[in-house]
Amino acid sequence: MHDDQEPLSGIHPLLAERFSPYRFDPSVAVDDRALGLLLEAARWAPSAGNSQPWGFFTSRPGEPDHDRVLPHLAPSSARWAADAGLLVVALTRRYVDDTQLLYSEFAEYDLGQAIAHMTFQAQAMGLATHQFRAFDLEGLTKELKPNPGWVIVSMVAVGKAADEPLKTRTRRSLADVRSAPWSPMP
Ligand SMILES: Cc1cc2nc3c(=O)[nH]c(=O)nc-3n(C[C@H](O)[C@H](O)[C@H](O)COP(=O)(O)O)c2cc1C
């Protein structure tokens, strides 16, 4: 009997082995080539109507832009994200310029997919990712001043993992994933 709390053998190792580390090795940098490939992977994600409603702000330790981002991390994420070789701020284009008109009904959905591409590209390059929302959204928005219509959604720390997956990692069962949206049959 397969244990629901272990990835089923047969899913790709990039998927099975991915986890969000709570420690990064501060001595491992993300170089320009790696950064370019991570953004390239995101760029080739599918999106509704090819709307590509994503944008990224990147910074690495030692870069002036890193000092613009670090003060806005929450204490809970600063503990590990500050050591990552790269911080990515992920934005989506939610509205058309400064109107309330939706740019795309799927803006957040598509951004998530682009981040998933980035995540697996990182994994393929021996880097780990930890996505997070533990930052001061208002403060970071004031600092980075995205164009009208663009909103910051999440952040991703990328670097060399310096810990192991938590023992407490869990997943809902396959049966629940398939049945939860519906009431039991009469
Ligand atoms: C949109 C999003 C926001 C998240 N925010 C946080 C966060 O603020 N702090 C944190 O420690 N982890 C955060 N995570 C990581 C999740 O907690 C983690 O992916 C989940 O527990 C599953 O663990 P795994 O990635 O190791 O499989 C976030 C993940 C996503 C996708």
Q: For residue 9, what pLDDT band results from cuts at 50, 70 and 90?
A: confident
Give the global pTM. 0.96
172 lies in some domain = no
- DSSP code per residue over the chain: ---TTSPPBTB-HHHHS----S-B-TT----HHHHHHHHHHHHT---GGG---EEEEEE-TTSHHHHHHGGGB-HHHHHHHTTSSEEEEEEEE-BSTTSSSBS-TTHHHHHHHHHHHHHHHHHHTT-EEEEE--B-HHHHHHHH-PPTTEEEEEEEEEE-B-S---TT-----HHHHHHTTSPPP-
Residue 99 alpha carbon to ligand 1 centre in Å: 31
Name the pLDDT band for 7 (thresholds 50, 70, 90).
confident
What distance in angstroms lies between residue 185's CA and the mean position of ligand 1's atoms? 34
pLDDT of residue 1: 53
CA of 34 to the centre of ligand 1 (A): 22
Tell me the pLDDT tens digit for each residue of 57-77.
Answer: 999 999 999 999 999 999 999
Identify the residue whose C-alpha is closest to ligand 1 atom 5: 132
Question: Does residue 185 lie within any of the structural domains?
Answer: no
Task: Give the per-residue pLDDT at 2.
Answer: 62
Q: What is the mean pLDDT of residues 2-6?
A: 73
Domain of residue 87 covers: 18-162
- Specify the pLDDT at position 184: 80
Residue 170 inside a domain? The answer is no
Within 6 A (CB) of ligand 1 lie 19-20, 77, 131-134, 154, 169
16 C-alpha to ligand 1 centroid (Å): 16
The total number of structural domains in the chain stands at 1
Question: pLDDT for 90-140, tens place per residue?
Answer: 999 999 999 999 999 999 999 999 999 999 999 999 999 999 999 999 999
Nearest CA to ligand 1 atom 30: 131
* 61: CATH: 3.40.109.10
Q: Is 9 a member of any domain?
A: no
